[in-house]
């Protein structure tokens, strides 16, 4: 593995003061009055003076803007120029008026603004499976974070057990490296749309983002979401075309598609002049052209230093730190993580903790950490512009501000998009309750759910109709499934109901959430997938050939309730070859009734243990979930009925023991039982069914409180 040379360079001063002269308010309020003898000349002089002032206040091209243009990209120059000129003409007057207001404001320029040259704060954002975490691994290795003989596992940033099992990033994580005397704070973010809240709340800690795009797939639904949020914050963007070493890579198409996405999201001219870096994260190579990659990631690091702006801070201002993340340590308690916007934070100092509703309390900082390489390092003080971790405030919450004890004021709180899916959580009422779990009461369940809200801002918890039922809302079924899996591993036993979308009523009309579904499917299975999406009220918005030959990318606008159970249906229709990705789009009119499942359930007739004799007859009715020797109870779902409607069967029936000699035991051949994961069970159940979750088992059963309509 190539190692980036650490060239000895002179350390620049950490702060660069910038100031803006403020005109005297009286000068603007009382302009000179021309005499009557020279009225015409004075009016001309005043017009010329106004024109000169407008030119002086007009936005000037930044000296670094041209350094961050796309490199070695064959973008359609004519179309790009037309779009930029059209958009610039619309912004000209608004930009000038805004800058005049800012410079004419008496408050402008009072506080000393500074930039830190020795720090860069970036977030790595992308669609799921586009190589963010693998790219971070290579950046850490080449920055000499690990020893040469140190054994490092793949995707080291995915430290959570569920992240490693599923191969996705669920939680945002911080790390840092040092390159040529500059500290680069890196935040690795999730790529799945259900965890978009993790991306939204960390973007206020950075000044720029690395937008990682697959060299074959190009921009995907989640790419649009994360880029939209980054542009709303006004962040600079460096586009990294990853996996450039793939045989079917098409960098020209990917960069053109990315530029079109910038235009659609109303990016500024400076943001559209993004720097493009071509990289292979797994090989640790990067370059400014796809044909000429370097031996290391040096071009990527140089692009970060050149194109990501320096943090703007108020060095001498009042202390302000917005808490964007929290962690928990058994010895240190709750740890608050955020970027210090102004002032200086010291270990042992007393601070004021402000909530968004201006309620404040006094606390004391016990320990202070900064991120250095792949660990947290204790320090005595932190300067503005850096990302740090604070201990000692045990009741700190995400969105609160750690401010100066005397003159501190809260920062704007973090805004997260509303959830779209709701599920009911209730205590376990099956006959097997308490056999496998540790926490089974409603008090345990309530405390755990409300504790989740302290860190998961995109989730909401409400009390249900009964004291032992709670309604949990999230961004999608996967968002809630991760919570369920974590609770299961912690020893909880509970039941969950089917996912339901959260509808709205606007002007007396019912509206439901819609999502954009992108399906990559081989051409031979495209007809089956199109028919399946049509049955679920999906409307095709685009169809184009994808990277591999014979593969088509279908884009549909489909109701969120139509996506429940769609993933397994698409895999079945395409023989496991299709790839489905979704992202929330907007709320729209109610699309009408739709059916998500055509087959009923096989329900156990009585309590007992399953036998081979009973299962041999039962498998003729459908596909079974159980094997011989398993304990079942009355009302448990033991299989999928081959016809619509539910069917009660006896899977515990034993063969009569009379006349054993004349009825010799015959060999019983049973089909292999279908094994459903937690995600599969949640997608399978209908309105009158529940999923029983325990640390050792996942079962489905009929809800005794709901009338059995299909029986």
CB within 8 Å of 210: residues ≥ 6 apart = 122, 123, 124, 125, 135, 238, 240, 304
pLDDT at position 664 is 53
pLDDT at position 707 is 53
pLDDT at position 55 is 39
Nearest to 283, CA basis, from 135, 178, 155: 135
Residue 570 in contact with residue 564, Cβ under 8 Å?
Answer: no
Distance between CA atoms of 347 and 365, rounded to whole angstroms?
Answer: 6
- Block means of pLDDT (10 residues each) for the chain, 711 residues, are 46 44 40 41 43 39 45 43 46 40 36 75 87 83 65 56 73 84 87 77 87 89 85 90 89 92 88 90 88 88 90 82 84 87 88 84 90 83 89 86 86 82 92 89 92 84 89 89 92 92 88 90 89 89 78 90 85 85 86 80 91 88 90 92 90 74 63 87 89 93 70 46
What is the SS3 string spanning 210-237? EEEEECCCCCCHHHHHHHHHHHHCCCEE
The phi and psi torsions of 188 (rounded to 5 degrees) equal -90, 125
pLDDT at position 5 is 46
pLDDT at position 699 is 93
pLDDT at position 640 is 92
Exposed, middle or buried, 511 (CB in 10 Å: 0-12/13-18/19+)?
middle
Exposed, middle or buried, 398 (CB in 10 Å: 0-12/13-18/19+)?
buried
pLDDT at position 497 is 92
CB within 8 Å of 610: residues ≥ 6 apart = 626, 627, 628, 629, 630, 631, 632, 638, 651, 652
Exposed, middle or buried, 260 (CB in 10 Å: 0-12/13-18/19+)?
middle
Nearest to 155, CA basis, from 191, 203, 196, 205: 191
CA–CA–CA angle 452, 455, 461 (5° rounding): 40
pLDDT at position 665 is 55
pLDDT at position 258 is 92
pLDDT at position 638 is 93
Distance between CA atoms of 480 and 679, rounded to whole angstroms?
Answer: 10
Residue 393 in contact with residue 361, Cβ under 8 Å?
Answer: no
Walk me through the domains of the chain, giving residue ranges and CATH numbers. 112-310 (3.40.50.300), 313-401 (2.40.30.10), 419-502 (3.30.70.870), 504-587 (3.30.70.240), 599-655+666-684 (2.40.50.250)
Distance between CA atoms of 602 and 645, rounded to whole angstroms?
Answer: 9
Helices (H) and strands (E) in the chain, counts: 17, 38
């Amino acid at each position: 593995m190539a190692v980036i040379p650490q060239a000895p360079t002179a350390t620049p001063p950490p702060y660069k003061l910038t100031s803006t002269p403020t005109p005297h308010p009286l000068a603007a309020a009382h302009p000179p009055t021309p005499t009557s003898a020279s009225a015409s000349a004075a009016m001309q002089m005043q017009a010329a003076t106004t024109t000169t002032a407008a030119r002086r206040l007009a936005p000037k091209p930044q000296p670094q803007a041209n350094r961050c243009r796309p490199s070695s990209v064959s973008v359609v120059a004519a179309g790009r120029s037309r779009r930029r000129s059209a958009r610039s003409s619309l912004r000209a007057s608004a930009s000038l008026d805004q800058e005049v207001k800012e410079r004419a404001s008496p408050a402008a320029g009072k506080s000393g603004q500074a930039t830190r040259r020795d720090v860069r704060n970036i977030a790595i954002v992308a669609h799921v499976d586009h190589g963010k975490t693998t790219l971070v691994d290579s950046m850490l290795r080449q920055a000499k974070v690990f020893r040469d003989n140190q054994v490092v596992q793949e995707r080291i940033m995915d430290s959570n057990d569920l992240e490693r099992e599923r191969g996705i990033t669920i939680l945002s994580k911080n790390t840092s490296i040092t390159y040529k005397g500059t500290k680069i704070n890196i935040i690795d973010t999730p790529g799945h749309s259900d965890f978009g809240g993790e991306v939204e709340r960390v973007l206020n800690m950075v000044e720029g983002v690395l937008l990682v795009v697959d060299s074959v797939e190009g921009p995907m639904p989640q790419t649009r979401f994360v880029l939209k949020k980054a542009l709303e914050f006004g962040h600079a963007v460096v586009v990294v075309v990853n996996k450039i070493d793939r045989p079917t890579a098409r960098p020209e198409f990917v960069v053109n598609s990315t530029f079109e996405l910038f235009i659609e999201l109303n990016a500024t001219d400076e943001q559209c002049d993004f720097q493009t870096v071509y990289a292979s994260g797994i090989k640790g190579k990067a370059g400014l052209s796809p044909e000429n990659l370097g031996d290391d990631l040096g071009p990527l690091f140089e692009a970060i230093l050149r194109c990501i702006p320096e943090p703007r801070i108020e060095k001498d201002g009042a202390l302000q730190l917005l808490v964007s993340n929290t962690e928990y340590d058994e010895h240190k308690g709750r740890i608050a993580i955020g970027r210090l916007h102004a002032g200086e934070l010291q270990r042992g100092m007393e601070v004021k903790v402000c909530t968004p509703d201006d309620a404040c309390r006094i606390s004391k900082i016990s320990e202070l950490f900064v991120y250095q390489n792949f660990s947290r390092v204790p320090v005595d003080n932190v300067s503005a512009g850096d990302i740090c971790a604070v201990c000692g405030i045990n009741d700190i919450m995400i969105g609160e501000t750690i401010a100066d004890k005397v003159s501190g004021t809260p920062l704007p709180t973090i805004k997260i998009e509303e959830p779209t899916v709701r599920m009911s959580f209730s205590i376990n009422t099956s006959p097997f309750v308490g056999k496998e779990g540790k926490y089974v009461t409603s008090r345990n369940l309530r405390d755990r759910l409300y504790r989740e809200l302290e860190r998961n801002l995109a989730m909401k918890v409400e009390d249900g109709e009964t004291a032992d039922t709670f309604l949990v809302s999230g961004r999608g079924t996967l968002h809630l499934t991760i919570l369920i899996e974590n609770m299961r591993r912690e020893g909880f036993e509970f039941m969950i109901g089917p996912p339901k979308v959260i509808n709205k009523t606007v002007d007396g009309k019912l509206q439901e959430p819609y999502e954009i579904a992108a399906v990559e499917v081989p051409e031979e299975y495209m007809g089956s997938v199109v028919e399946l999406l049509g049955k679920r009220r999906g409307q095709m918005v685009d169809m184009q050939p994808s990277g591999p030959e014979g593969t088509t990318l279908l884009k549909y606008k489909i109701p969120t309730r139509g996506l429940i159970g769609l993933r397994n249906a698409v895999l079945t229709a395409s023989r496991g070859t299709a790839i489905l990705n979704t992202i929330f789009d907007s709320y729209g009119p109610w699309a009408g009734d739709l059916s998500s499942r055509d087959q009923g359930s096989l329900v156990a007739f009585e309590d007992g243990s399953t036998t081979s004799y009973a299962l041999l007859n039962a498998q003729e009715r459908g596909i079974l979930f159980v094997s011989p020797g398993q304990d079942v109870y009355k009302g448990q779902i033991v299989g999928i009925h081959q016809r619509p409607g539910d069917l009660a069967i006896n899977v515990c029936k034993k063969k009569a023991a009379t006349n054993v000699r004349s009825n010799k035991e015959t060999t019983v051949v049973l089909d292999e039982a279908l094994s459903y994961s937690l995600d599969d069970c949640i997608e399978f159940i209908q309105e009158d069914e529940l999923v029983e979750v325990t640390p050792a088992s996942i079962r489905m059963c009929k809800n005794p409180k709901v009338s059995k309509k299909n029986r």
